[in-house]
């Protein structure tokens, strides 16, 4: 909850929200309520886990990362991430945090498949996901209306066995 003010500052900017499929800003009340519930989510009971991304050295709050729609039956979950402040983009935080979350998903939660959707014009996100090991599945054409036009939605996924080729059980991921 101590991150609420900094979340409101950057999270509501259209520069970030235009990539999320939820372009309208959130009120502070709604964000407080979401944060309150996000800190209590259980992957099995609620089907989601939301974590803060921090700079390990300074403790600066950078954004949030999550696995949601976790299906214990299919051992599958959707992935989402946002580094909030544009000046923190392109510094490797997204790729690093994605790798750590995949590690949690596969080596702690025992998932078999993790998937995501990204706007096809969000080249930075797609590149970060490729670096973390996600593969392209396909594109839903004209699926999202934002910035006055329909845009394609890229689907990507990674399987447990593919992640294990890079990070077998017993190894760790995550930058210094």
> Would you tell me which residues interact with ligand COA (CB under 6 A)?
16, 19-20, 63, 81-83, 89-95, 118, 122-125, 127-128
The token pair at 164 is 């294990």
Q: Helix, strand or coil for residue 98?
A: helix
Which stretches within the chain are classed as H helix? 4-11, 14-17, 28-38, 93-103, 123-132, 160-166
Which is nearer to ligand COA, 58 or 110 (by Cβ)? Answer: 58
Nearer to ligand COA, 20 or 109 (CB): 20
Please, which residue, 123 or 141, has the CB nearer to ligand COA? 123
CB 154 within 8 A of CB 139: yes
User: Could you tell me the smallest distance in angstroms from the CB atom of residue 96 to ligand COA?
Assistant: 7
Q: How far is the CB of 132 from ligand COA (least distance, A)?
A: 8
- Cβ atoms of 51 and 66 within 8 Å: the answer is yes
Tell me whether residue 50 or residue 81 sits nearer to ligand COA (CB atom): 81
Least distance between ligand COA and beta carbon 127 (Å): 3
User: By C-alpha distance, which of 74, 12, 73, 80 is closest to 41?
Assistant: 80
**Residue 149's beta-bridge partner residues?**
146
Residue nearest to ligand COA (CB): 94
- Minimal distance, residue 5 CB to ligand COA, in Å: 19
């Amino acid at each position: 909850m101590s991150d609420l003010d900094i979340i409101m500052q950057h999270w509501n900017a259209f520069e970030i929200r235009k990539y999320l499929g939820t372009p309208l800003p959130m009120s502070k009340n709604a964000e407080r309520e979401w944060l309150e519930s996000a800190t209590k989510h259980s992957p099995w009971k609620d089907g989601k886990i939301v974590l803060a991304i921090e700079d390990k050295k300074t403790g600066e709050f950078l954004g949030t990362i999550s696995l949601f729609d976790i299906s214990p039956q299919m051992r599958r979950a959707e992935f989402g991430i946002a580094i909030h402040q544009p000046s923190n983009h392109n510094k490797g935080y997204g790729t690093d945090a994605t790798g750590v979350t995949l590690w949690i998903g596969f080596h702690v939660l025992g998932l078999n498949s993790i998937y995501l959707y990204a706007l096809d014009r969000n080249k930075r996100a797609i590149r970060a996901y490729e670096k973390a090991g996600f593969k392209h599945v396909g594109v839903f054409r004209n699926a999202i209306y934002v910035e006055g036009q329909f845009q394609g939605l890229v689907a990507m996924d990674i399987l447990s066995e593919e992640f294990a080729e890079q990070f077998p059980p017993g190894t760790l991921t995550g930058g210094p």
